[in-house]
Amino acid sequence: MTTIENGSGTQELKGKRALVTGGSRGIGEAIVRQLLDAGAEVLTTARSATSTVPEGAAFVAADVRTRAGAETLAAAAQEVLGGVDILVHNAGGARPYESTSAIPDEEWQDQLDLNYLASVRLDSLLVPGMRERRSGVIVHISSAAVPATPPPFLHYTAAKAALENYSRGLALELAPSGVRVNTVTPGRTATPGGELTREQWARLDPAQGENNSPVPLGREGQPDDIADAVVFLVSDRASWVTGSNLVVDGGEFPRG
């Protein structure tokens, strides 16, 4: 584990302890970096050791798809941070299949474990401490693909849809305890993982590879666009926001 050093940004999160899953690259790396810049102490995780974790963050290797991984993370958070005030569930991902019937049972289970149950398990371990302190913020990262439900990703979007429903219900349950729970839903974002997924989809469906429909706001999202939303939601500026789903997609995907 690395030594924690606070960042030198706004410091609005100084004194806060944050745990971010999947924080070694892309959106997760941007979230970790911005939390550090805002003054938080940050612990992050990936399945294996990595050199790409932002400087100043602590790191522990854990597989969030498993109960054992969740327990490892919860124990590390207690050891390194002394508890968790901010919990951001960013770990996730999927690969496309040519049809829903081609998705094997084990892939359905893996998607549920990674994109839904990972949050449920870790929340169950860390929420009691938040309840006891009567404070805390949880952010679940979903996907703007949920309402579109593209068939090659149905295993992924079904898990993320479950996550959104769970997040809303958990927010209602925890609100009387002073704990806030929200969802951030990214759209098309420039990350290595996102680019790989789009390439895989284009190989299955060449027409999809030619789909260059513009985002209404005129550009692809950047990881910092998503991190900005997360930092807002975990800050005191959003102290009256819970049970919400903040869609950050440049207006690309209609919802409602």
- CB contact set of 155 (below 8 Å; sequence gap of 6+): 94, 97, 103, 107, 108, 111
Burial class (CB in 10 A: 0-12, 13-18, 19+), 83: middle
Distance, CA of 122 to CA of 78 (rounded, Å): 13
Distance, CA of 22 to CA of 20 (rounded, Å): 7
**Which among 164, 168, 127, 129 has a CA at the least distance from the CA of 145?**
164
SS3 142: coil
Burial class (CB in 10 A: 0-12, 13-18, 19+), 241: middle
**Which among 160, 161, 141 has a CA at the least distance from the CA of 226?**
141
* Region of residue 140 (phi > 0: left; psi between -120 and 50: alpha; otherwise: beta): beta
Distance, CA of 84 to CA of 163 (rounded, Å): 21
- For the annotated catalytic residues, the residue numbers are 156
